[in-house]
Amino acid sequence: MSELIIKMDYIEQFIEHLWIEQGLSENTLSSYKTDLKKFNDWLLLNKKILSDVESQDIQQYLSWRHKNNLSARSTARFLSTVRRFYQYCIQQNLISYDPSVNIISPKLGKSLPHSLTESDTELLLSMPDQDSSIGIRDKAMIELMYSSGLRVTELISIEMSQISLRQGVVRIVGKGNKERLVPMGEMALTAVEYYLSHARLEFLKNQSNDILFLSSRGQQMTRQTFWYRVKFYASQAGIKKHLSPHTLRHAFATHLLNHGADLRTLQMLLGHSDLSTTQIYTYVAKERLKQLHQEHHPRG
Q: Is 47 one of the catalytic residues?
A: no
Show the DSSP H helices in the chain as ranges: 2-6, 8-22, 26-45, 55-67, 72-91, 118-125, 133-148, 152-157, 186-198, 200-204, 223-237, 247-258, 263-270, 275-278, 280-296
**Helices 72-91 and 55-67, axial angle in degrees (round to 10):** 160
Written as one letter, the residue type at 279 is Q
How far apart CA 32 and CA 114 sit, in angstroms, is 25
Please tell me which residue in 17, 84, 175, 180 is annotated as part of the active site.
Answer: 175
Strand partners, 182: 170
Q: Which of 229, 246, 250, 255 is catalytic?
A: 246
Q: Which of 48, 229, 250, 272 is catalytic?
A: 272
Please, is 83 exposed, middle or buried when counting C-beta atoms within 10 Å of its C-beta (0-12, 13-18, 19+)?
Answer: middle
- In angstroms, the CA 156 to CA 154 distance is 6
Q: Can you say whether the dihedral through the CA atoms of 243, 245, 248, 253 is positive or negative?
A: negative
Nearest CA among 32, 37, 8 for reference residue 18: 32
DSSP conformational letter for 104: P
Q: Is 255 known to be catalytic? A: no
Residue 272 among the catalytic residues: yes
What phi and psi, each to the nearest 5 degrees, are found at residue 159? -100, 160
Q: Which of 48, 229, 249, 250 is catalytic?
A: 249
Q: What is the gyration radius of the CA atoms in the chain, in angstroms? A: 23
Active site residue 66: no
Choosing from 137, 151, 200, 255, the catalytic residue is: 151
Q: Tell me which residues are annotated as active site.
A: 151, 175, 246, 249, 272, 281
